[in-house]
Amino acid sequence: MVIKVDDLHIPVLLDEVIDNMNLKSNDIVVDCTLGFGGHSSRILSKINKGHLYAFDQDDEAIKYSDNRLNKICSNYTIIKSNFDNIKEELNKLGVNKVNCILFDLGVSSVQLDSDRGFTYMRNEKLDMRMDKEQKFSAIDVVNTYSYNDLVRIFFEYGESNFSKSIAKNIVKYREHKKIEYTSELVDIINSSTPKLLKKNPSKQIFQAIRIEVNHELDSLDKALDQAFDLIDVGGRILVISFHSLEDRIVKTKFNLKSNVDFIIKGNPNIDSSMLPKFRLVNKKPIVPSALELEKNSRSMSSKLRIIERIR
**Mind listing the pLDDT tens digit for each residue in 65-104?**
999 999 999 999 999 999 999 999 999 999 999 999 999 9
**End position of a domain, from candidates 214, 239, 266:** 214
What pLDDT, on the 0 to 100 scale, is given for residue 5? 41
Q: Is the pLDDT of residue 3 over 60?
A: no
Let me know whether 140 and 235 are in one domain: no
Segment 212-231 shows an average pLDDT of: 97
For the stretch 153-163, pLDDT in tens is 999 999 999 99
Q: Is the pLDDT of residue 1 over 70?
A: no
Pick 60 or 233 by higher pLDDT. 233
Q: Is the pLDDT of residue 114 over 70?
A: no
Q: Is the pLDDT of residue 199 over 50?
A: yes
Q: Given 3-state DSSP classes, what are the helix, strand and coil percentages for the chain, each rounded to the nearest 5?
A: 45, 15, 40
Residue 245 near residue 217, CB atoms below 8 Å: yes
Segment 99-121 shows an average pLDDT of: 81
Provide the residue range defining the domain that includes 163.
Answer: 115-214
What pLDDT, on the 0 to 100 scale, is given for residue 2? 42
How far apart (Å, rounded) are the C-alpha atoms in residues 275 and 298? Answer: 39
Q: Is the pLDDT of residue 22 over 80?
A: yes
What pLDDT, on the 0 to 100 scale, is given for residue 276? 92
How far apart (Å, rounded) are the C-alpha atoms in residues 107 and 123? Answer: 18
* Number of domains composing the chain: 2
Let me know whether 87 and 175 are in one domain: no
Segment 149-153 shows an average pLDDT of: 98
CATH of the domain at 305: 3.40.50.150
What pLDDT, on the 0 to 100 scale, is given for residue 198? 82
Let me know whether 206 and 245 are in one domain: no
Let me know whether 97 and 221 are in one domain: yes
Let me know whether 144 and 235 are in one domain: no
Q: Is the pLDDT of residue 263 over 70?
A: no
**Residue 173 dihedral angles phi and psi, to the nearest 5°:** -65, -45
